[in-house]
Structure 1
């Protein structure tokens, strides 16, 4: 699960929020007094959320939001009248005073969403093997030689054929090579 960074200038408020989160099963919770310290913490973590007010001693929340790494979101604590105006990607706002269960549910929802994004990122297709690269390279060479294509045109042809047939590029390259060598 992702990490939680509490960036609030008042230690007592930050401490209470940390206690609530720890009590509800969150483990990786860090308290920092400034936005710079929060950003420094993000450098050592893979993903998570920063809980902050609208103003920190060194930065406004909008500047902090602009500096956040890709897999970090901001949970903004604000007054009721201002929350409805805070609409930005990567930002969720809750009203103060906060209801404990709603707050915990919001934190949990945000972390689960980030966890899913990180899993998707890690679940990307692996790189092609050398053998697969050779098939594609040979198919490009044949297309370039026989059909007078540039390397880019040959690659695009294999890529488009792959998408049109629903096969991966290696299978398409093998098919091209098979068709061409069966003609000989």
Structure 2
């Protein structure tokens, strides 16, 4: 579940949206009335969703969006006329007057996308260190020399055997080097 920050110039607006979200199972981390408050809280959190109005006493929504850390998404709630000015494709927009079901569905969709993005980043393989790359390269060179394999065949051999044995490629390369 993403961290949620709600920001509107009037605290009553922020609190009514917060109460609606909390009643429907969302956890709201903070409610704010200025852009500076949002930026301060967002910098303490890793990532999440900012639900906000069009203009604050200290900044415009587009400025706030620029100041947000990389992992944050924005849901802008404003009049239809103001939303026409929003040309940023990374900002999700809802027009006023807001229907509560539209708000809930939109936040649900943003939460789902957030979870998907988090999982994708988590599943992304970590880059190999230079030391690990050197071990794999050395094992490939040994296989190429001793077994007359091409570089691609040696790589596939290490890769296939590592998958068959449930070890990573570096461990398999170390095993090959220790055997030869």
Q: TM-score range by the shorter chain?
A: 0.7 to 0.9
The alpha-carbon deviation at position 13 of structure 1 amounts to 0.8
Matched, 1:76 2:76: yes
1:20-35 counterparts in 2 under 5 A? 20-35=20-35
| 1:94-127 deviation per Cα after TM superposition (whole angstroms, max 9, x unaligned) | 0111000011100111121112111211222145
SS at match of 1:118: helix
TM-score w.r.t. the length of structure 1 is 0.71
**Alignment match, 2:62:** 62
Matched, 1:89 2:117: no
Tell me, in whole angstroms, the C-alpha distance in 1 between the residues paired with 2:22 and 2:29.
8
Uncovered stretches (5+) of structure 1, i.e. residues with no partner: 147-157
The alpha-carbon deviation at position 91 of structure 1 amounts to 0.3
Q: Is the 8 A contact 2:49 2:75 kept in 1?
A: yes
Output the aligned Cα RMSD.
3.4
SS at match of 1:76: strand
The alpha-carbon deviation at position 73 of structure 1 amounts to 0.7
Q: Which moved more, 1:100-109 or 1:127-136?
A: 127-136
Tell me, in whole angstroms, the C-alpha distance in 1 between the residues paired with 2:55 and 2:129.
51
Alpha-carbon distance change, 89 to 71 in structure 1, aligned in 2, over 3 angstroms: farther
Tell me, in whole angstroms, the C-alpha distance in 1 between the residues paired with 2:22 and 2:28.
9
How many residue pairs get aligned? The number is: 160
Matched, 1:47 2:54: no
The alpha-carbon deviation at position 128 of structure 1 amounts to 4.1
SS at match of 1:98: coil
